[in-house]
Amino acid sequence: MATVVLPAFCDLHVHFREPGQTWKETIRTGAMAAARGGYTTVCAMPNLDPVPDSLEHVKLEQDIIDRDAVIEVLPYCSITKGRKGLELVDIKTLKDHCVAFSDDGSGVQSPDVMRRAMETAAASGAILAAHCEDNSLPGTDPRSEWGPIERDLELCARTGCHYHVCHISSRKSVSLIREAKAAGINVTCETAPHYLTLCLDDIQDHGRFKMNPPIRTADDREALIEGLLDGTIDAIATDHAPHSAEEKSKGFQGSAMGIVGLETAFPVLYTRLVRSGRVPLDRVVEALSKAPRRIFGLPENPLDQVVIDLDTPFVIDSSRFASMGHSTPFDGWEVYGRVLETRKNAVTVYKA
């Protein structure tokens, strides 16, 4: 058995559902799932109840994190109050209490609201992480994603804000961000393992294939791989989004949007991209570990490590997940790259 010791992973985009939806996931179970997947730092999105849009609300989440998390969990605050897209939160006051600002799960529809958010973020040294979705278009239309990206890149060029684009899934999105980077615009982005390894041909009539943005064409998938290789795509994030079994049991059309990903990310990427010769191992590790920390200005800790068996195949079995969510399109896949141990500051937080 050949094992490697790698820098532990960092995920810029997870949903831990607490406070507010603890039947889907808790900070405790989400953090355990992260540790089982090789992650020692994750950034938790703000679609919670209450939304972390004030000092009082973000402290409520932080208190639970301090009590229950076995790894580093960094909260987001929302861009707008209640994630309603109308009134900005107090970015200047909140910026030292969160890792970045996002209305994830909802795109900011108003150009004026986004412009003012970017101006305030730029003046405050804060990062905006945007879920890009035009509500006037169906999510299956790629323009629903790349249209808001195109709009926001123009605003970013004018304001100088650090603009991070969440979970890109289309060729046009990659192209727009590549051009923006070449022009010196302060933009970074992420995609997710499912967009790099699946396409429309893989979709079945089951809730485990339902996520937002949706899986797109093989051509879109190829563009994402190209973007990962040339550095247009900075990071790989899981968009870990657990739901109850009932919420994911209503077929492709009727199920809630979102899949879990923390416990499958590395094996799926290693098996489909690295072992196939498409992407070097170093590039995948960079996108999972160093780049996310660099994007958000998080320090690297050489004592945060993950030990991985690269040679022994195993079958993904969602019934054994630490996460309360079990909906993954990768259930039953034979993969390589099992996480054997995760160490946070040299302390073992997970051991197989």
Per-residue pLDDT of 246-298, as tens digits, reads 999 999 999 999 999 999 999 999 999 999 999 999 999 999 999 999 999 99
**Is 277 among the domain residues?**
yes
Domain span including residue 261: 9-300
Backbone angles phi, psi at 225, to 5 degrees: -65, -45
pLDDT of residue 218: 98
pLDDT of residue 260: 98
* Arithmetic mean of pLDDT, 131-138: 96
Residue 47 near residue 16, CB atoms below 8 Å: no
- Number of residues assigned to the chain: 352
Query: How many helices and strands in the chain, by DSSP H and E?
Result: 12, 13
User: pLDDT category, 19, cuts 50, 70, 90?
Assistant: very high
The owner of tokens 């605003």 is: 155
pLDDT of residue 2: 86
**Is 338 among the domain residues?**
no
**Is 305 among the domain residues?**
no
**Is 312 among the domain residues?**
no
Q: Does the structure show a pLDDT above 80 at 1?
A: no
> Tell me, what CATH number does 262's domain have?
3.20.20.140
Task: Give per-residue pLDDT as tens, 164-185.
Answer: 999 999 999 999 999 999 999 9
Q: Does the structure show a pLDDT above 80 at 224?
A: yes
Q: CB within 8 A of 135, min separation 6: which ones?
A: 107, 109
User: Strand 3-7 to strand 235-236: parallel, antiparallel, or no bridges (unpaired)?
Assistant: unpaired
pLDDT of residue 287: 99
41's enclosing H/E stretch is strand 39-44
Q: Which residues are catalytic?
A: 239
Token pair, residue 272, equals 């489909």
Strand, helix or coil for residue 274? helix
Residue 348 near residue 50, CB atoms below 8 Å: no
The owner of tokens 């679609």 is: 47
Cα torsion through 15, 21, 22, 26, rounded to 10? 20
Residue among 98, 92, 13 at smallest CA distance from 60: 98
User: pLDDT category, 245, cuts 50, 70, 90?
Assistant: very high
171: exposed, middle or buried (C-beta count within 10 Å: 0-12, 13-18, 19+)?
Answer: buried
Task: Give per-residue pLDDT as tens, 54-87.
Answer: 999 999 999 999 999 999 999 999 999 999 999 9
**Is 153 among the domain residues?**
yes
Could you tell me the maximum CA-CA distance found in the chain, to the nearest angstrom? 56
pLDDT of residue 53: 98
Number of domains in the chain: 1
Q: For residues 26 and 188, give the distance between their C-alpha atoms in angstroms, rounded to a whole number.
A: 29
**Is 38 among the domain residues?**
yes
Cα torsion through 313, 319, 322, 326, rounded to 10? 110
β-sheet bridge partners, residue 74:
43
Q: Taking the model in full, what pTM does it have?
A: 0.98
**Is 327 among the domain residues?**
no
Residue 115 near residue 159, CB atoms below 8 Å: yes
**Is 154 among the domain residues?**
yes
